[in-house]
Amino acid sequence: MKILIVGAIAGGSTVAAQIRRAVPDSEIILFGRDPVLGYGTCGMPYVIGGLIEDKWQLVGSSPEKFSEQRDITVKLGHDVLAINREQKTVEVRNMETDHVFTESYDKLILSPGGIARIPDLKGLGDLPLFTLKSFGDMEEIIDYIEREKPKSCAVIGGGFIGIELIENFIHRGLQTALIDRNERVMTLMDPEISQVLGKEMQDNKVDFYFEDAIERIEGKRLIMKNGMNFDVDFIASSIGIDLDTQLAIEADLHIGPTKGIVVNSYMQTNDPDIYAIGDAAECKDWFTGKPKNVKLAWPAHRQSFIVARHLAGNPIEMNGLLGTTITKLFALTAAMTGHSAKSLTDEGIEFGTAVYEGRTNAGYYPDHGSILLRVHYDEQSRLILGAQAVGDKGVDKRIDVIATAIMGKMTVDDLAALELGYSPPYSSPKDPVNMIGYKAR
């Protein structure tokens, strides 16, 4: 079986390795436009901030080593231009030589990812504008900071990547401003969680321009719509990505309401010989079964395993997605799984909320922390619908326990009965997760 893979970052390189293990006698060719193979995009803000000193630590393997160890043909700097579904071929351009050639396939896997959105800013001129989507984007930001020694910047967009960039620009000693059209940071989360994150940013001297936008730029001066103008040395934009689905559209593969490539539970498109994984794939929500697109690393890795098992003739199905995610912001950690209060309201789902705010572990222990934990649940069935947490310690543990409880179809009341590990450095006799179960009663 000859398998072609389009896209050689997280999803593409992972599915190639999974297929080699699952289908050992297959021929695998991996195409990627990016000159770097399979790097960890989630680590890029921390390289910019200097926490990770060597950028090459993000790269799991060189193309040569990856190819030799796994017997996979790796062709970086190659752009797949078109898919001919009838002939089962793709048209590929070598981006260095401009040579175009045709490659046949038995199975084709698409892992195209997305393209960073760039704001249309009037008068940008010579003011540098950066996005952070690729290894090259990261290198450009680092090179600029080290070469030009800027003093200030503005970040447009207060989502996950935006706040991680802000933290790391602050670590680099840059006076940093957040510009966001919304009324608060991290609108994906409940307002109560966002408020804690906003205060943490304020305590670390981040300037806020909420419900505002850049009207125009004059030299280095940002002329804001609300009239509070200020100077910056550069701008970093983090306003989301557009899914890179043009190749799929031109091949007449189905595109869903999330603008992702529609797949079944085995990651097959409407063409059973073509699969899609990663950011560009449209899966389903765990609770509603409605189309859902999650641009995170965990789904891409799980989907890679699903595809490999299906190709090996030993299929398992992809579960619906919870969208479990976590991020660091200065001294705090914030995480969520499942639905927020807003998404439940938007879906017309009635729910109750249990809240715990207090210590993460024994107060008499020197290194005790605090946490705010919110859990939404169906008041009739008592099933857990989502959870969010923010704190300075133990947030990851609590969100992961609750994500497991959701997938195990436990009720919010069952949380009180969970026998969780207790020792003063780590928890209390009644863990915050237990407390949510008691409070929900």
Question: Which H helix or E strand runs over 216?
Answer: strand 214-218
- Give the model's pLDDT for residue 10: 87
pLDDT band at residue 338 under the 50/70/90 scheme: very high
Q: How confident is the model at residue 60 (pLDDT cuts 50, 70, 90)?
A: confident
The whole-number average pLDDT for the span 269-294 is 97
What pTM was estimated for this model as a whole? 0.95
DSSP 415: G
Three-state SS for 387?
A: strand
DSSP one-letter string for 307-376: HHHHHTT---PPPPB---EEEEETTEEEEEEE--HHHHHHHT---EEEEEEEESS-TTSTT--EEEEEEE
Pairing of strands 129-130, 234-237: parallel
Q: Which of 48, 71, 68, 67 shows the shortest CA–CA distance to 58?
A: 48
Give pLDDT tens digits for 5-48.
999 998 999 999 999 999 999 999 999 999 999 999 999 999 99
Other C-beta atoms closer than 10 Å to the C-beta of 245 total: 22
Condensed to tens digits (0 to 9), the pLDDT of residues 395-411 reads 999 999 999 999 999 99
Place of tokens 């133990």: 394
Strand (E) positions, 251-351?
A: 261-262, 274-276, 281-284, 291-292, 325-329, 332-338
Q: Are strands 107-110 and 274-276 parallel, antiparallel or unpaired?
A: parallel
* Closest C-alpha to 276, from 111, 129, 395: 111
Taking the C-alpha atoms of residue 268 and residue 266, their distance in angstroms, rounded to an integer, is 6
By three-state DSSP, how is residue 335 classified?
strand
What residue type is 224 in one-letter code?
Answer: M
String of DSSP letters for 73-126 = EEEESEEEEEEETTTTEEEEEETTT--EEEEE-SEEEE---EEE-----TT-TT
pLDDT in tens, 114-155: 999 999 999 999 999 999 999 999 999 999 999 999 999 999
Q: Read off the amino acid at residue 387.
A: A
- Residue 358 — very low, low, confident or very high, per pLDDT cuts 50/70/90? very high
Report d(CA 255, CA 300) in Å as an integer.
Answer: 18
Question: How many Å apart are CA 318 and CA 263, to the nearest integer?
Answer: 10
Grouping H, G, I as helix, E, B as strand and the rest as coil, residue 30 is strand
Diameter of the chain by CA atoms? 70
Question: CA 33, 280, 324, 13 torsion: positive or negative?
Answer: negative
pLDDT of residue 427: 95
Once rounded to an integer, what is the mean pLDDT over residues 97-120?
97
| DSSP-derived secondary structure letter, 56 | G
pLDDT band at residue 354 under the 50/70/90 scheme: very high
**H or E segment and range at residue 377:** strand 370-377
Averaged pLDDT for residues 273-292 = 97
Q: Which uninterrupted H or E stretch holds 66?
A: helix 63-70
How high is the pLDDT of residue 105? 98
Q: Is 323 left (phi over 0), alpha (psi -120 to 50) or beta?
A: left
> Hey, how many other C-beta atoms are within 10 angstroms of the C-beta on 26?
18
| Residue matched to tokens 């899914």 | 243
| pLDDT bracket for residue 61 (50, 70, 90) | confident
Residues in Cβ contact with 166 at an 8 Å cutoff, skipping those fewer than 6 apart: 155, 176, 178, 201, 206
The rounded percent of the chain whose pLDDT value lies above 70 is 100
Question: In order of start, what are the domains of the chain with their CATH numbers?
Answer: 2-41+60-115+241-311 (3.50.50.60), 118-237 (3.50.50.60), 331-440 (3.30.390.30)
| Average pLDDT value over all residues in the chain | 97
Confidence at residue 311, expressed as pLDDT on a 0 to 100 scale: 98
Retrieve residue 46's tokens: 């921390």
Q: Which residues are catalytic?
A: 42
